[in-house]
Amino acid sequence: MTYTSNWDKFDHWLNTRNQGQDEFIQAVREIAADVQPIINVHEEYKHHRVLYRLAEPDRIITFKVVWQNDNGELRINRGWRVQQSNVLGPYKGGLRFHPTVNESILKFLAFEQCFKNALTGLPLGGGKGGSDFNPKHCSDAEIMRFCQAFMTELNRHVGPQTDVPAGDINVGQREIGYLYGQYRRLANEFGGTITGKPLEFGGSLVREEATGYGVIYFTENVMSAADDKLTDKRINISGAGNVALYAAQKAISHGAIVTTLSNSKGTLHIKEGLESTDLNMIISNKESDNALKDAADEGVGEWLARATPWAIPCDIAMPCATQNEILLQDAQRIIDNKVQYVVEGANMPLSEDAAELLHASDLVYIPGKASNAGGVAMSGFEMSQNAQFEPLSFGVLDQKLKDTMAHIHSQCWEDGFAADSDQVNYSRGANVAAFRRLADAIVAQGY
Ligand code: NDP
């Protein structure tokens, strides 16, 4: 077969070996398009086939998870750990429990994670894992039994120098506690193998808040570089989980007006802006079946069943729920509403065509691998606190988070300028800066 360019050759290779894995192909193509020009002028990157090597996971572990529900019936789920690359450090990335989880989604997340972790400047490789288990409506005891069964297999493949999982969708401190307890029993070791732990046994201050806070710190860096500021900006946030709620908290405390939160059932629209006290009420009620509708029932804003936030006018759109949550028609509404910034809190929240449309528009687009890297950076700080047996204070860690987000911003800024434009392309900047670090490490370590 003859190819018209290196890109064609790579694209054919990628599609052939990952058939049916649309999310993974989407994520790799997006980064590959930005880094191909760098590869074309670096003979050593070509020779070492760095892009091909990054796009093939080091290994994928797939396993059966058998657990018992409260009625004594046996349930069978599938678990995965995608160990994408440890060229920069131990594999690092969260675990997601959701019925939509499949190998394609975990491969896309693991691939993106390598680039995000590279941007932090910390010694962290990339991985991701999870299960198609649906924890919604499970009792506490069922969740514990599932987590124990999951870790009974996963423990063989993780360790403080090998692979350090954390939380992601539906894996919060409760699940981390059960997973860590089972790891500790089986490995007979109390170390930093999982991050996002509760404070009582090795967790870090600011870990829970870090991703959401980091998104806002990054946004402030972007706005200050554009001579703009967050005060009085209207922000539509989607999601009502870990990332969304702490992004909302930090945004409000910095003078922004948070006009929406959402979940898989609909959107809470607060025209005049969410008050801190109402947000705290939502945070403390987050285990409820629908904390946002509960808030509307209490007189906080209006509940819009089955709606997303994207038709509502705002200055900043901040998707913080899940992948592919902004579709082409949503992107068009965002442009029609003259939104100035789209800042990703979630991983790959734009569908491929929505991303193309937004990239071609004038608004400033901030990719999640840069703006949501605060969570994994804080996990890195949790690992070093565990290794040194020395917890750090909230203030010290919050400052480290701010510094990390500023460091990521400056890399994206430097690599995001093109000779033919006066606007920074943050997406290209993030992809290129991360790729360079990964590629140099691959070349230096041989094959
Ligand atoms: P959570 O499980 O805490 O919250 C997820 C939120 O998104 C929930 O409110 C959920 O609603 C909503 N949601 C899920 N699916 C959909 C959907 N299809 N449509 C609308 N809303 C939906 O997850 P996190 O906040 O931890 O993660 C959110 C995103 O951020 C994910 O993409 C994750 O990978 C990414 N991320 C998370 C990090 C972290 O530290 N937690 C770090 C970096 C990235 P419902 O409860 O109704 O399902």
Query: End-to-end distance of the chain based on CA atoms, in angstroms?
Result: 27
pTM, 2 dp: 0.94
**Nearest-atom index, ligand 1, CA of 368:** 44
Q: Distance between CA 382 and CA 125 in Å, rounded?
A: 15
CA of 267 to the centre of ligand 1 (A): 14
* C-alpha distances out from residue 243 to 4, 70, 76, 81, 238, Å: 43, 31, 30, 22, 10
Per-residue pLDDT, 202: 95
Distance 215 CA to ligand 1 centre (A): 14
The CATH number given to 55-191 is 3.40.50.10860
pLDDT in tens, 214-260: 999 999 999 999 999 999 999 999 999 999 999 999 999 999 999 99
Instruction: Considering the chain, tell me which residue range(s) the CATH 3.40.50.10860 domain(s) occupy.
Output: 55-191
For residue 413, report the distance from its CA to the centre of ligand 1, in Å: 27
Nearest-CA residue for atom 28 of ligand 1? 321
Whether 325 is in the pocket of ligand 1, judged by its Cβ within 6 Å, is yes
pLDDT of residue 391: 96
Q: Which residues contact 169 (CB under 8 A, 6 or more apart)?
A: 96, 97, 98, 241, 322
**Span(s) in the chain for CATH 3.40.50.720:** 210-361
Contact 217, 402 (CB under 8 A): yes
C-alpha to C-alpha distance for 203 and 344, rounded to whole angstroms: 26
State the average pLDDT over residues 210-214: 97
Instruction: Give the residue numbers annotated as catalytic, written as ranges.
Output: 128
How far are the Cα atoms of 22, 333, 372 from residue 17, in angstroms, in the given order?
12, 36, 29
Q: What is the pLDDT of residues 23-73, one digit of tens each?
A: 999 999 999 999 999 999 999 999 999 999 999 999 999 999 999 999 999
Ligand 1 pocket, mutate which of 105, 124, 168 (most atoms under 8 A from CB): 168
- Using CA positions, which residue lies closest to atom 16 of ligand 1? 264
Q: Which CATH number fits domain 210-361: 3.40.50.720, 3.40.50.1970, 3.30.465.10, 3.10.350.10?
A: 3.40.50.720
**Ligand 1: which residue has its CA nearest to atom 22?**
264
- Which atom of ligand 1 is nearest to 265's Cα? 47
Q: Which atom of ligand 1 is nearest to the CA of 373?
A: 43
Residue 14 beta carbon below 6 angstroms from any ligand 1 atom:
no
Ligand 1 near 243 CB (within 6 A): yes
Length of the chain: 447
